[in-house]
């Protein structure tokens, strides 16, 4: 509170009584000259009562002023036009760390940091020009020397003399500023991280685009059988523009004969490799191969496929097959030579029996009548031997020409049933447990019964050889048949042997390659030739549990 303000309040608080001329004696207690003196005293008493009321009101106002100004928790100062402090409350003196009396006539700019005094000058100029309440944020020196952020809210009013007077409220906003600066630093850090991550994603996307465009294969990204995206090579492979393919079903780019198989592979949602017939925009077809796997693309589970045109490969394979045809023909002739010893063995005994029986018939016919009945029995035996010879010859003839089978509609379970007695006899001799798991709902296949029987015999015989090397309680062979959805029939032979050696996996179908000392290396090769002649496939691998191996034969079903 200024000295002027205090003087005005003190002067107003002192009661003052004035007397008119000639009334001094009476006013000092003397008897009134007349009735007019009593009226004056009454008037003076009223004036004194009014003055006492005014004094009480001024004292209350002074107390309120003290509470509102001096004891306020917010710093208040009054500034002259030159920026000198005219008044300051206790909060301002405490905040600035200077006695209140020492603040009077001090420039407020003295407590402002040098870097912010220019802002303070502009703030004063705006206040003078605008004559409206203004606010400014700047840094001031605290009593302990540390800078603090202050919010100046000022109003320009005239003082009693008509000179400009600034009434300024100082608010400590250091915590708010520190929080804002910390938030700004955090935002800058986050923006920097986002920018860095965005740059990494863009670089990754650029690398992916370059790889996808530089690869020689088509890359397709699909979900639920719908093509979502593909590289330019995929579009060129099918004769489309890239934008024409996106959003269309994959079936649009697959020939009708391969759509069921491709749909099955897509429905399995597993990594797979398959060959199919592709379809171009102009309706032409081409052989293709797809390597697909499930992966994450743009945060979703997608099927990512690499598609390759096999036209050149197929043409090279065709030439290779043509060159191998003559070699295989020579190998089949060699095979016939190899099995000629078996023919001699198989036919030698029946021929010998026939010769002996015929000699007996001759002797019987030359003898007496009762021996004719025995001769007839011998003739029956001869007929059985002849029938057996005929079956053997037919069987060997079919083996000599596996690519031209005598095809009929057959059931694979029936073929297994025909060779089962011979297989059980061999299993019992080697103490091997032979098990069957046959699907009763197999579709019919078209094939040669004799040739397919030979395939089963070859696979089971190899399984017996593999299982024989194990302990008797572990020896086992399992024959399984099952229907393949949309394809045909699968027949598998599983053993409990030691498995296939790594060096043998790649060569097991090579002619004359065998892991058995007494083997000729023609069984698996002949089985593959027979199966492929039936438009099927054969495959073998070690079991996932590490016990033995399994061979699969897949044959297409008979068209309805």
Res 13: pLDDT: 43
Query: Helix H segments across 69-165?
Result: 90-96, 100-103, 117-130
Reply yes or no on whether the pLDDT at 435 is more than 70: yes
Same fold, 75-172 and 408-556: no
Reply yes or no on whether the pLDDT at 477 is more than 90: yes
Least confidently predicted of 179-193, 319-333, 354-368: 354-368
Give the confidence band of 354 by pLDDT, cuts at 50, 70, 90. low
Res 490: pLDDT: 93
Reply yes or no on whether the pLDDT at 495 is more than 90: yes
| Domain 408-556 is found in CATH 3.30.565.10 | yes
Q: Collapse the DSSP code of 142 into the 3-class scheme (helix H, G, I; strand E, B; otherwise coil) and give the result.
A: coil
What CA–CA distance (Å, rounded) separates 67 from 173? 23
Res 433: pLDDT: 92
Q: In what order do the strands lie in the sheet with 134-141?
A: 85-88, 75-79, 164-172, 147-158, 134-141
Residue 525 · residue 509 · CB < 8 Å? yes
Question: What Rg, from alpha-carbon coordinates, does the chain have?
Answer: 57
**Beta-strand (E) ranges in 234-298?**
272-279, 285-297
Give the confidence band of 476 by pLDDT, cuts at 50, 70, 90. very high
User: How many Cα neighbours within 13 Å face the side chain of 486?
Assistant: 11
pLDDT in tens, 523-542: 788 888 888 888 899 999 99
Angle at 266 between CA 264 and CA 269, to 5 degrees: 110
Sign of CA dihedral 417, 418, 419, 423: positive
Q: Collapse the DSSP code of 74 into the 3-class scheme (helix H, G, I; strand E, B; otherwise coil) and give the result.
A: coil
Q: The pTM is what?
A: 0.36
Res 191: pLDDT: 84
Question: Tokens 């079991």 correspond to what residue?
Answer: 543
Taking residues 56-69, report their average pLDDT.
68
pLDDT in tens, 208-258: 566 556 566 888 888 888 988 888 888 888 999 888 888 899 999 999 999
- Which tops the pLDDT comparison, 374 or 309? 309
Q: How far is CA 549 from the centre of its chain?
A: 35
CATH class of 215-309: alpha beta
Instruction: Give the rounded percent of residues in the chain with a pLDDT score beyond 70.
Output: 70
Reply yes or no on whether the pLDDT at 339 is more than 80: no
Average pLDDT score over the chain:
78
Domain boundaries, the chain: 3-70, 75-172, 215-309, 318-400, 408-556
Reply yes or no on whether the pLDDT at 286 is more than 90: yes
Q: What b/e readout covers 204-231, taking b as 16+ CB neighbours within 10 angstroms?
A: eeeeeeeebeeeebbbbbbeeeebbbbb
Least confidently predicted of 117-131, 195-209, 369-383: 369-383
CATH architecture of 75-172: 2-Layer Sandwich (3.30)
Q: Are strands 476-483 and 433-437 parallel, antiparallel or unpaired?
A: parallel
Res 350: pLDDT: 66
Give the confidence band of 285 by pLDDT, cuts at 50, 70, 90. very high
- Which tops the pLDDT comparison, 15 or 148? 148
């Amino acid at each position: 509170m200024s000295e002027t303000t205090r003087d005005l309040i003190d002067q107003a608080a002192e009661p003052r009584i004035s007397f008119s001329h000639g009334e001094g004696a009476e006013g000092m207690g003397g008897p009134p000259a007349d009735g007019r003196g009593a009226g004056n005293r009454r008037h003076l008493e009223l004036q004194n009562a009014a003055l006492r009321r005014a004094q009480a009101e001024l004292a209350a106002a002074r107390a309120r002023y003290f509470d509102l100004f001096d004891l306020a928790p917010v710093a208040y100062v009054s500034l002259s036009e030159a920026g000198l402090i005219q008044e300051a409350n206790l909060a301002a003196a405490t905040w600035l760390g200077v006695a209140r009396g020492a603040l009077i006539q001090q420039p407020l700019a003295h407590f402002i940091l040098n870097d912010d005094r220019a802002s303070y000058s502009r703030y004063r100029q705006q206040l003078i020009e605008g004559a409206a309440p203004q606010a400014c944020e700047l840094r001031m020196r605290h009593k302990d020397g540390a800078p603090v952020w202050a919010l100046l809210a000022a109003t320009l009013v005239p003082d009693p003399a008509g000179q400009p007077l600034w009434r300024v409220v100082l608010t400590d906003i250091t915590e708010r500023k520190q929080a804002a600066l910390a938030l700004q630093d955090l935002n800058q850090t986050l923006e920097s991280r986002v920018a860095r991550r965005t740059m990494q994603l863009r670089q990754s996307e650029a690398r992916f685009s370059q790889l996808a465009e530089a690869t020689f294969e088509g890359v397709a990204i699909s979900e639920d059988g719908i093509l979502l995206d593909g590289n330019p090579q995929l579009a060129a492979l099918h004769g489309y523009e890239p934008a024409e393919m996106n959003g269309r079903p994959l079936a649009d780019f697959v020939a009708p004969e391969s759509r069921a198989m491709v749909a099955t592979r897509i429905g399995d949602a597993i990594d797979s490799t398959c060959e199919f017939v592709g379809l171009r925009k102009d309706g032409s077809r081409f052989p293709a191969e797809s390597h697909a796997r499930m992966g994450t693309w743009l945060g979703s589970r997608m099927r990512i496929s690499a598609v390759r045109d096999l036209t050149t490969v197929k043409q090279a394979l065709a030439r290779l097959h043509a060159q191998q045809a003559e070699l295989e023909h020579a190998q089949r002739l060699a095979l016939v030579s190899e099995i000629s010893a078996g023919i001699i063995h198989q036919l030698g005994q029946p021929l010998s029996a026939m010769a002996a029986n015929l000699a007996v018939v001759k002797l019987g016919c030359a003898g007496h009548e009762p021996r004719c009945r025995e001769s007839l029995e011998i003739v029956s035996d001869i007929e059985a031997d002849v029938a057996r010879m005929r079956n053997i010859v037919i069987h060997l003839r079919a083996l000599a020409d596996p690519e031209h089978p005598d095809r009929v509609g057959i059931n694979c379970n029936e073929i297994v049933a025909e060779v089962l007695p011979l297989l059980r006899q061999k299993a019992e001799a080697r103490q091997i447990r032979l098990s069957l798991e046959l699907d009763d709902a197999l579709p019919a296949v078209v094939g040669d019964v004799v040739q397919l029987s030979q395939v089963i015999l070859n696979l089971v015989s190899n399984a017996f050889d593999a299982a024989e090397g194990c302990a008797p309680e572990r020896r086992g062979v399992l024959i399984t048949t099952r229907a393949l959805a949309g394809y045909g029939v699968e027949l598998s032979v599983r053993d409990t042997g030691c498995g296939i050696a790594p060096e043998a996996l790649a060569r097991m179908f090579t002619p004359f390659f065998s892991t058995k000392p007494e083997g000729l290396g023609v069984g698996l090769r002949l089985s593959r030739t027979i199966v492929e002649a039936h438009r099927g496939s054969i495959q073998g691998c070690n079991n996932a549990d590490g016990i033995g191996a399994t061979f699969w034969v897949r044959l297409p079903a008979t068209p309805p």
